[in-house]
Amino acid sequence: MRLPRFKYSGPETLEQALDLLNTHKDDAKILAGGTDLLVRMKKGLLKPKVLISLKALNELSYIKKQDGYIKIGARTPLADIIASDLIQKEARALFQACEKIGAITIQHFRGTIGGNILQDNRCHHYNQSDFHRSGRQACHKDGGKICYAREEADRCNSTCQSDGATALMALDASLILAKKGAKRTVDLADFYTTDGIIPHAMESHELLREIIIPLNGAQSSYQRLAYRSAIDYPIVCAGVLLKHSSKNEIEEARIVVGAMSRSPLFLAQVSSSLKGKKLNDTIAFKKAADASMDSSAAFAVHNVGATLEYRCAMVSQMVFQALEQAAKCIKG
Amino acid sequence: MSNNKSQFSAVGKRIPKLDAAQKAMGRAEYIQDIKLPEMLYGRILYSKFANANIVKIDTSKAIALPGVHAVLTGEDVPEKMKMGFIKDNPPLKKGRVSCFRDEVAAVAAISPEIAKKALDLIEIEYEELEGIFDPEKAMEKDSPLVHEHLKSNVLKMPWNIHYGDVEKAEKESAFVVEDRFTTTWVTHCCLGTSGAVALFDASENLTIYTNTQIPSLAQKDFLEALKSMGLENKRVRVIKPIIGGGFGSKLDTYAYEHIAILLAHKCRKPVKIVFDRAEEFKATSTRQPTVIYIKQGCDKTGKLTFRDMRMVLDNGGHTSWGATTPSVMLMPISSLYTVENVKYNAKCVYTNNTYSQAMRGYGNPQATFAIESSMDILAEKAGINRIEFRKINKNHSGDETPQGLKITTCGLAECIEAVEKELKFDGKNEKGIGTGIASLIHVGGGARIYGSDGCGAMLKMDDYGKVDIFTGGTDMGQGLDNITAQIVAEELGLLVEDINVVHSDTDICPWDVGAHASRSTFVAGNAALGAAKKVKKKIQAFASKLFDVPADQVELKGKLVLVPGDPEKSMAIGKLLRKAHFSAGGTMLMAEHFYDPDNQNMGKELKGNMSMTYSFGAHGAKVKVDEETGKIEVLEYVAAHDVGRAINPLLLEGQVYGGVVMGLGYALSEEVVHKNGENMNANFRDYKLFTAKDAVKIKAPIIETDDKDGPFGAKGIGEPGCVPTAPAIANAIYDAVGVRIFDLPITPEKVLAALKEKKSATTKI
């Protein structure tokens, strides 16, 4: 499959990039590693007139500790995040998530954390070549009126399969979005529109600049299930954050289930049910895991190649494993 | 192991693939790289439905697009131009489409982009019809017909045999087991996608560059194609570029080749058609899916009494080699282990699904999955250890099986022992861990499927001791070039670097039936050896006069022609060759040999010694089952094969590793997902081919039984690597957690569902 024609711009600084974005707006897309964008363009899913490459913007590639936060540039390669001592120790869920993304070659040469968060939602009915899609009515995400994943659905049910986003939401991360002359901070949880067609609350002239993770002495873990050991998106995944008191009790928990819905699902109720529980309360963990499954099952549709039954059942597995792992890190 | 290995100078050596450096440097010329002057680019338009009438095709806008040289539809295809061995498949469909991959139109244009644009401009009106996707339903009397001019969806095939008396044997059996297994569509995933470049000369002779495993048979197919176009008595030249993998996917001739020919003829320019990866997934044929019913029985001592198998094969919309897989499946059915009473019936049924062709193993993996799973089930019922059970029924050298296969060399026992040595089969594994074993039989000395199973080789020596050998054989990455060079080098006392293997051109190379049935080493190897032997005789005759000794005292070693024990009587081979050439009545040394093995066509009852010798093997797997997620981890894998002799152990291991990984994908994760006949996972992300990270460490013991008919004792090894993998895994899973999966691939979902069922069944008690 061939790429549609486009104009390539290679800005040297962030200012230049924001300027270009401001000029072209909807006609332009940002190109980092391109592992999501270029594949979609080859399938004819989108045809931006201009690609603004971040290749020269090394200023967007960094990992630092500052003012009680971990700050990561959006264009930071996944390999850097995996190799970072800071992230392995203080934001372990992110480390575990990035380790599983793609394959080692992608992590080194192409994948960026920003790209992973901003990947488009997926659905095995939508992510097909334009020839395949030309043989049938267009679905919601493709500019039409029906949904192949859920009969009679009046909205798109595509899934967010980002490992990075799930882990970061568990870590209570925020994003810094920049546009020409201004920037704003938004909680990752608020960044999602829950609209399958346009999943991110971001203007076309905005660029993701930085990811901020609060350092609060909590431990985290990320677990994901996939068929193969490389390349595959998660069938289902879970990110968990546990903050503990001196009494080895859980002060705060954040349970996020990913790859089940239009955005990662932060399960507030299930998370708060763990408050006050002991770190070795396996029964409480099991209960929370099953409750997570119940809460997220309603959102899932058959659109990522695995059966619904299996995915839902595995939510419980992934959440449980993540809770156990995070608790172990605290004790260990 | 053979004990005279040390005497070989080239055979038995671990020599890297001759074109490895070229390939690694990106200098190998694949079909993708071929560029000819004035060449046009062809592209094919496929159907939008599984089953539909073509009401109207309007190509006017496409033809009008600047840069487009030709647009063809089914109307432009000569009536007699049909593909497939039963000739039911025109390269462009007229009037009706019977599956999603059916070709309905094609264009030739000056660039690939314009060709694609032209396809988008072709307007087709279809009348959609209800599709038939279940072969067992399609078999029923009142089922709608896929092809309305036929009386039934069931093909007329001879797959119905009965050796001995199965009913009687069943009555006399102490233990009988009966089960149903299924295998589904998987695909070859060759590194290089399909493609062809066709061109005609001024006299309308055809040259076609194509990835083919059957250059001589393709030549015949294309001559017929030309005849159907009204071009009689023309020449066809088939040239093979470097082929990026075959695995059976290039054993037929295809729509894209015929379409390239039609376009090239119409445009009077070369036309190139190359598939992109999505097209490769959707428009090439898969492995034959099967529904298998198997019944096996044994007596009290564990001796097999009968094997009764019945299959339903989804033939898809048209016919390719898939419908003949029963001819090969009969081999393990009648001859894997010794069993006297065998019954086999296979029905091939048209549906509106995709259609299948040859794929590594050619039905053997499917049949062996059922047989070897069933063997474990039967062993358990009889209360006999599963390894013992196999030893009780093992094949022996000298056996003649019910199908008439004559077993000569047979290393099955040694292969099973090699597996036993590496893995524990005593059942004392940790929780969730288990081991499994499965054996194989495959043809190892050619396979007489056609009237000829032969291969020709022509050899010439130059003035310096270098050799050109022209072989009908095909290298598609599996290493026939190396094997040929090593065999010739060994026989003539030369270095492998001195041998130039030419196998690319039907104008130059002799006839060969094709690179299938793991026959290349055996048949092409013997052809090369035969030619080398003839040249050696000529050299010995010349040297005999020169050295004044009887010819049989002359040896060729280390690039010398010499008489052992007499240092005076020794000459560099180049010098001898020049002496022969540059003298009065000079001669240059050349020879040819056409080797057609002494095997038999199967007769009416499908009986006959199909191959001159048979390869055997046994695989063992150790797996860990995650009982929470159903995921299977392969901890260890042993693949032992009786190969006669390893001409090149390095390449042999490569064949085994590759075959095993392919077989593991087949067992655990690969599946072409169809939704109402439409391919839903036409890319490597959604088609779960094993990645490098999924590959496991494989031990590959090589058992050498030194077959007297093979070149230097060698038998075939191309396919065996992927034949018993699925049952080895299924048996290991059963050993680990007590559940058996009967339907491939063995996905985590299936394992989990089976575990759940087992749990609820036991708690009910």
Query: In the numeric block, which tokens belong to residue B691?
Result: 């990645």
Using an 8 Å CB-CB cutoff, list chain B residues near A229. Answer: 691, 693-694
CB contact under 8 A, B694 and A228: yes
List, in order, residues 6 or more apart from A143 with CB less than 8 Å away. none
For residues B683-695, average pLDDT? 94
Select from A124, A139, A148, A312 the residue whose CB has the most chain B CBs within 10 Å, as the one to mutate to test that interface.
A124
Q: Shortest Cα distance from A47 to chain B (angstroms)?
A: 15
Cis peptide bond prior to A234, omega within 30° of 0: no
Q: In this predicted structure, what is the pLDDT of residue B565?
A: 92
CB contact under 8 A, B681 and A309: no
Render B580-637 in DSSP notation, one character per residue: HHSSTT----EEEEEE--S-----TTS-S--SSSEEEEEEEEEEEE-TTT--EEEEEE
**What does the DSSP 8-state code read for residue A104?**
H
Q: In this predicted structure, what is the pLDDT of residue B2?
A: 45
- B117 in contact with chain A, both atoms CB, cutoff 8 A: no
* Lookup result for tokens 């080398």: B532
Q: Shortest Cα distance from B444 to chain A (angstroms)?
A: 34
Query: In the numeric block, which tokens belong to residue A270?
Result: 């299930």
- A103 in contact with chain B, both atoms CB, cutoff 8 A: yes
Using an 8 Å CB-CB cutoff, list chain A residues near B752. Answer: 310, 313
Ramachandran quadrant class, A147 (left: phi over 0; alpha: psi -120 to 50; beta: rest): beta
How many other β-carbons are positioned within 10 Å of the β-carbon of residue B422?
Answer: 15
Distance spanning both ends of chain B, measured CA to CA: 53
Buried b vs exposed e over B536-557: b needs ≥16 C-beta within 10 Å?
Answer: bebbbebbbeebeeebebbbbe
**What does the DSSP 8-state code read for residue A140?**
G
What contacts 24+ positions apart, CB below 8 Å, involve B145-149? B145/B350, B146/B51, B146/B98, B146/B317, B146/B350, B146/B351, B146/B352, B147/B88, B147/B98, B147/B350
Question: Which pLDDT band, with edges at 50, 70 and 90, does B457 fall under?
Answer: very high
Percent of chain B with pLDDT over 70: 99
For residues B572-579, average pLDDT? 95
Q: Is B197 helix (H, G, I), strand (E, B) or coil?
A: strand
**In Å, how far from its chain's centre is CA B448?**
15
pTM assigned to the model: 0.94
Torsion, Cα B265 B267 B272 B273, to 10 degrees, reads -80
Q: Is B89 helix (H, G, I), strand (E, B) or coil?
A: strand
Q: Where in chain A are the domains?
A: 1-57, 61-118+159-331
Alpha carbon distance B762, B765 (integer Å): 5
Alpha carbon distance B117, B231 (integer Å): 32
Q: Is residue A180's pLDDT more than 70?
A: yes
Using an 8 Å CB-CB cutoff, list chain B residues near A307. Answer: 749
Alpha carbon distance B537, B757 (integer Å): 70
pLDDT tens for each residue of B143-185: 999 999 999 999 999 999 999 999 999 999 999 999 999 999 9
Q: Shortest Cα distance from A234 to chain B (angstroms)?
A: 12
Q: Does ipTM top 0.85?
A: yes
Per residue, the 3-state secondary structure of A102-115, as one string, reads: CCHHHHHHCCEHHH
Alpha carbon distance B249, B211 (integer Å): 9
Q: Point out which residues pair with B332 in neighbouring strands.
A: none
Q: Shortest Cα distance from B628 to chain A (angstroms)?
A: 7
Question: Which pLDDT band, with edges at 50, 70 and 90, does B764 fall under?
Answer: low
Select from B672, B683, B749 the residue whose CB has the most chain A CBs within 10 Å, as the one to mutate to test that interface.
B749
Q: Shortest Cα distance from A286 to chain B (angstroms)?
A: 13
pLDDT tens for each residue of B532-563: 999 999 999 999 999 999 999 999 999 999 99
Using an 8 Å CB-CB cutoff, list chain B residues near A1. Answer: 276-278
Q: In this predicted structure, what is the pLDDT of residue A39?
A: 93
For A306, nearest residue in chain B (alpha carbons): B749
Residue A98: phi and psi, rounded to 5, are -65, -35
Q: In this predicted structure, what is the pLDDT of residue B605?
A: 83
Q: Shortest Cα distance from B336 to chain A (angstroms)?
A: 33
Select from B111, B193, B676, B688 the residue whose CB has the most chain A CBs within 10 Å, as the one to mutate to test that interface.
B688
**What does the DSSP 8-state code read for residue B41?**
E
| Amino acid making up residue B492 | L
pLDDT tens for each residue of B303-348: 999 999 999 999 999 999 999 999 999 999 999 999 999 999 999 9
Residue contacts between A and B (CB atoms, under 8 Å): 64
Buried b vs exposed e over B47-72: b needs ≥16 C-beta within 10 Å?
Answer: bbbbbbebeebebeebeebebbbbbb
Q: Shortest Cα distance from B125 to chain A (angstroms)?
A: 12
- A315 in contact with chain B, both atoms CB, cutoff 8 A: no
Of B276, B673, B752, Cβ closest to residue A1: B276
What are the helix (H) ranges across B431-511?
480-492
Select from B683, B689, B743 the residue whose CB has the most chain A CBs within 10 Å, as the one to mutate to test that interface.
B683
Render B675-694 in DSSP notation, one character per residue: ETTEES--STTTS-PPPTTT
Q: Shortest Cα distance from A292 to chain B (angstroms)?
A: 16
In chain B, residues 279-318 whose CB comes closer than 8 Å to chain A: none
Q: Point out which residues pair with A239 in neighbouring strands.
A: A222, A256
Look up the CATH number of domain A61-118+159-331: 3.30.465.10
Topology, domain A1-57: 3.30.43
Q: Is residue B380's pLDDT more than 70?
A: yes
- B580 in contact with chain A, both atoms CB, cutoff 8 A: no
pLDDT tens for each residue of B234-258: 999 999 999 999 999 999 999 999 9
Q: Is residue A248's pLDDT more than 90?
A: no
Q: Shortest Cα distance from A39 to chain B (angstroms)?
A: 11
- B748 in contact with chain A, both atoms CB, cutoff 8 A: yes
CB contact under 8 A, A313 and B49: no
Query: In the numeric block, which tokens belong to residue A267?
Result: 């399960």
Select from A2, A119, A314 the residue whose CB has the most chain B CBs within 10 Å, as the one to mutate to test that interface.
A314
For A104, nearest residue in chain B (alpha carbons): B693
Buried b vs exposed e over A31-60: b needs ≥16 C-beta within 10 Å?
Answer: bbbbbbbebbbbbbbeebebbbbbeebeeb
Q: Are B567 and B579 in contact (CB under 8 A)?
A: no
For residues B732-746, average pLDDT? 97
Q: In this predicted structure, what is the pLDDT of residue B5?
A: 58
For B125, nearest residue in chain A (alpha carbons): A135
Q: Is B342 helix (H, G, I), strand (E, B) or coil?
A: strand
CB contact under 8 A, A227 and B691: no
For residues B568-577, average pLDDT? 95
| Amino acid making up residue B201 | D
How many other β-carbons are positioned within 10 Å of the β-carbon of residue B202?
Answer: 6
Q: In this predicted structure, what is the pLDDT of residue B426?
A: 78
Q: Rounded mean pLDDT of chain B?
A: 96
| Amino acid making up residue B80 | K
Q: Is A174 helix (H, G, I), strand (E, B) or coil?
A: strand
Q: In this predicted structure, what is the pLDDT of residue B1?
A: 41
**What does the DSSP 8-state code read for residue B300?**
T
Residue B338: phi and psi, rounded to 5, are -95, 120
* Lookup result for tokens 């997902």: B673
| Amino acid making up residue B448 | R
Q: In this predicted structure, what is the pLDDT of residue B3?
A: 46
Question: Which pLDDT band, with edges at 50, 70 and 90, does A332 fall under?
Answer: low
Query: In the numeric block, which tokens belong to residue B313?
Result: 């094969």
